Amino acid sequence: MITKDTLMELDLPDVDTLTKFREFFASGLFEEPNATPMRRWSRAVRRRFENRSIPPYRGELLYPSGPAWTGKEDRILTPNYSFTWSYNEWELNSRLSNCNDDERQTLESLRNCMREIESHLNVIRTPHTVGGRGYTHSVPNYGRVIREGLLHHAERINEKLKLARKHNDQEKIDFYIGLLDVLAGIKVWHRHILESLNNSHFEDADLESNRQKLISAYMQVPFKPARNFFEAIVAYNFTYYLDDCDNPGRVDQELFPYYEKDLKEGKITYKEAVSLIRQLWENADANNGWSAGIGGTTSDGEPAYNELTLVCLESAKNIRRPNLQLHVRRDMPQEVWDSALDTIATGCGLPALYNEEEYLRSLRNAHLGIREEDLGWHNGGGCTETMIHGRSNVGSLDAGINLPLILTETLKDHLANVVSFDELVTEYKKDVAKVVSGIVDDVNADQEAKAKFRPQPMRSLLIDDCIDNGIEFNAGGARYNWSVINVAGLANVIDSLSAIKEVVFEKKEKTGAELLQSLISNFDGQETFRKRLERCPRFGNDKPFADEIAKDIAGFVFREFLRYSPWRGGKFLASCLMFVTYADAGLPVGATPDGRLAGSPLADSAGPVQGRDRKGPTAMLKSVASIPHYLAPGTLVVNIRFIKRIFSSKEDRIELQNLIRTYFDMGGMQLQINVVDQEVLRDAIAHPEKYQDLIIRIGGYSEYFNRLSESLKQTVLERTEHEV
């Protein structure tokens, strides 16, 4: 239940002073201090959009374009798609030194109020965050805005508001009044966009044509239904900016009906569509935007590949974002395969490849209550946390679990005393289960607190079925709710247990106590022994000795999370998508029996530890497929690196395609490919100024190589470079 917080016990900031400071988001929050959080944050959203800076129009195909946030307003209290707001106390304190007494009082009151609100929300205490602490990526229902228009959203809200008033349901009354406030703000922002377009003019005929087309489109969308492809993509882009540029979602599925109609009527060409989708991708890139899924399966179970799928692939060449995700069915047309490999060959890491049949099976078996007609709308959000386009609220990432950190504690407590390898594994599983239970408690407390104090008005407007249910997004209003948890260091644990099994229990080269002392000393003076550990069977080389451990440990962890349900509903789904976090995740972890030194990076996502796969790509993928992927539909990211020249050979491309298909047939669910030569990476480390545009697939997304830390750059260099 959504309740009021305790702001009324504090001195409140002056709204006029906040407005003068251009803190419109904050001023809206305090206009009606007696209202519920939903009403107050909805008013904050309204004032933000009424006063939102609009970048100058420069003749682009789509508008708005470029970075969504200009930094000209809302600097202390900033809108945030994951958390509703971000509070910047450093910015607040910096202003205190240059203001009068009344202004100082307002800023200090704002600080006290935000501290009070956030004190109810900081409930995740586990050290096992690993890139996630109550985050919530999502995908708006773009198609509903395009097909129905926001005026229809208003009609639905007003009808529901009448019913709520009839039944004197104050909570729903406040919810719907809040949504009408949000729509009022959107209308003003829309008007300002049109004014900016009308006030521009270009001598260049092409730029002037773009402007005129945009003016015509904005006279119709997003408040009325789109009538053609251009209006549909303008509305799509507008909605993307409304949601502060999180995930574009299932672009080809939502826009194809408009493209197909216009193509038949001669109103658009393939080349023009590529330019428009490229602009959408560039807007995602400019905002560090996230995931877009293409291909896969329609609502009635048929293949979902179309010419717009090819447009999306063509448009993604040499670009960093969005995280383009190609859903690969066994019946995917060869022309889609060819287009995907062409785009991958540009070195951008796009698209990542997803095993469609296995995802559908995995989501069905997870008992998430997904309607059959909605299954094909699955889409990674953020890096690639599985959700349903337009219909879900998925904690992504809600938290993480650092498996090597747990292992080091288990070894301290038990390695010197256990009499068998199986006994040690049993103790480790007990420790993992305790941590999982604690993570679940923290996430559930966080979700419940969000329902009371952190509403998401924009997502309540744009995601089904919040309006129909009369329930706010964070209170469980979305059709589907579940939580994705990040599993870190799986390969390190596999290799460590493999080493313990061989060195301590089978060959008895060391006692458990002796190995433990080596770990505590961080292998000080024991480099020869550390190198010996590196010769133990390693995950990623098709060695049953290690792969059986992988299957056992991964299956236990994934099933343990599936035992629990989050506060909002659904299940806890395991994932492994370490993006840039696997270096920092290794910092608190002591030396491990795989020969890893204390503080060193962990494994990059769900594949082998970087550089330890030495038997070729087939062996590596067979090992990874030994993990029960279907038990982790949150997505297990697997990185693989190939030399660039294989993409120039028709025979090599066919072999690569067959390798991917075989991996998927063995149960692998996701694969992302880096194409960059070792010499280029070495030169990029030595001469970063020469490689400003070098893109690397890292964890669950692509990033500019120069933005990575030095330790992360080294881990990319250490990855095995494969041939087919």
Give helix 421-453 / helix 490-500 axis angle, nearest 10°: 160
Torsion of CA 275, 280, 283, 289, to 10 degrees: -140
Is residue 61 domain-resident?
Answer: yes
pLDDT digits (tens, 9 = 90+) for 359-405: 999 999 999 999 999 999 999 999 999 999 999 999 999 999 999 99
Of 323, 322, 316, 372, nearest to 344 by C-alpha is 316
pLDDT digits (tens, 9 = 90+) for 417-438: 999 999 999 999 999 999 999 9
Burial of 66: CB neighbours in 10 Å, binned 0-12, 13-18, 19+: middle
Q: Is the pLDDT of residue 690 over 80?
A: no
- According to DSSP, the β-strands at 392-402 and 480-488 are parallel
Q: What is the 8-class DSSP label of residue 293?
A: E
Of 367, 135, 128, 376, nearest to 247 by C-alpha is 135
Instruction: Kindly provide the residue ranges of all beta strands, DSSP E only, lying in 12-96, ordered along the sequence.
Output: 77-80, 84-87
Q: Is the pLDDT of residue 200 over 80?
A: yes
Spatial neighbors of 444 by CB under 8 A, at least 6 apart, are 566, 567
C-alpha–C-alpha distance, residues 700 and 354, integer Å: 12
Place of tokens 């090992």: 623
C-alpha–C-alpha distance, residues 600 and 582, integer Å: 9
Q: Is the pLDDT of residue 331 over 50?
A: yes
pLDDT digits (tens, 9 = 90+) for 225-249: 999 999 999 999 999 999 999 999 9
- Phi and psi angles of residue 395, each rounded to the nearest 5 degrees, phi first: -65, 115
- Beta bridge mates, 483: 395, 572
pLDDT digits (tens, 9 = 90+) for 538-593: 999 999 999 999 999 999 999 999 999 999 999 999 999 976 778 888 899 999 99
Q: What percent of the chain has pLDDT over 70?
A: 97
Instruction: Kindly provide the residue ranges of all beta strands, DSSP E only, lying in 625-705, ordered along the sequence.
Output: 639-642, 670-675, 695-698, 701-704
Is residue 245 domain-resident?
Answer: no
Is residue 33 domain-resident?
Answer: yes
Entry field: residues in the chain: 724
pLDDT digits (tens, 9 = 90+) for 72-115: 899 999 999 999 999 999 999 999 988 999 999 999 999 999 99
pLDDT digits (tens, 9 = 90+) for 255-301: 999 999 999 999 999 999 999 999 999 999 999 999 999 999 999 99
Q: Can you give the residue range of the structural domain that contains 97? A: 7-119
Of 367, 425, 413, 717, nearest to 548 by C-alpha is 425
Q: Is the pLDDT of residue 2 over 60?
A: no
Q: How confident is the model at residue 1 (pLDDT cuts 50, 70, 90)?
A: very low
Q: How confident is the model at residue 721 (pLDDT cuts 50, 70, 90)?
A: low
Whether the CB-CB separation of 380 and 654 falls below 8 Å is answered with: no
Q: How confident is the model at residue 699 (pLDDT cuts 50, 70, 90)?
A: low
Of 365, 352, 345, nearest to 295 by C-alpha is 352
The pLDDT score that the predictor gives to residue 701 is 64
295-315 average pLDDT score: 97
Q: What is the 8-class DSSP label of residue 597?
A: P
- Phi and psi angles of residue 220, each rounded to the nearest 5 degrees, phi first: -110, -55
Is residue 85 domain-resident?
Answer: yes
- Phi and psi angles of residue 399, each rounded to the nearest 5 degrees, phi first: -170, -170
Retrieve residue 664's tokens: 């998927």
- Beta bridge mates, 482: 394
Q: Is the pLDDT of residue 194 over 80?
A: yes
Whether the CB-CB separation of 498 and 537 falls below 8 Å is answered with: yes
The pLDDT score that the predictor gives to residue 724 is 66
Q: Is the pLDDT of residue 3 over 60?
A: no
Q: Is the pLDDT of residue 4 over 60?
A: no
Longest Cα–Cα distance in the chain: 83
Is residue 56 domain-resident?
Answer: yes
The pLDDT score that the predictor gives to residue 689 is 82
Q: Is the pLDDT of residue 677 over 80?
A: no
Of 378, 382, 402, nearest to 390 by C-alpha is 378
3-class secondary structure, 721: strand
pLDDT digits (tens, 9 = 90+) for 629-649: 999 999 999 999 888 889 999
Is residue 628 domain-resident?
Answer: no
Q: How confident is the model at residue 678 (pLDDT cuts 50, 70, 90)?
A: confident
Retrieve residue 260's tokens: 């197909």
Q: What percent of the chain has pLDDT over 90?
A: 85
Retrieve residue 385's tokens: 């946390």
How does the average pLDDT of the chain come out, rounded?
Answer: 94
Retrieve residue 614's tokens: 């030495």
C-alpha–C-alpha distance, residues 46 and 463, integer Å: 18
Type of residue found at 658: N
Strand order of the β-sheet with 323-328 is 291-295, 323-328, 352-355, 670-675, 639-642, 721-722
The pLDDT score that the predictor gives to residue 660 is 97
Retrieve residue 59's tokens: 């003749």
Q: What is the pTM assigned to this prediction?
A: 0.95
Is residue 363 domain-resident?
Answer: no
How many domains does the structure of the chain reveal?
A: 1
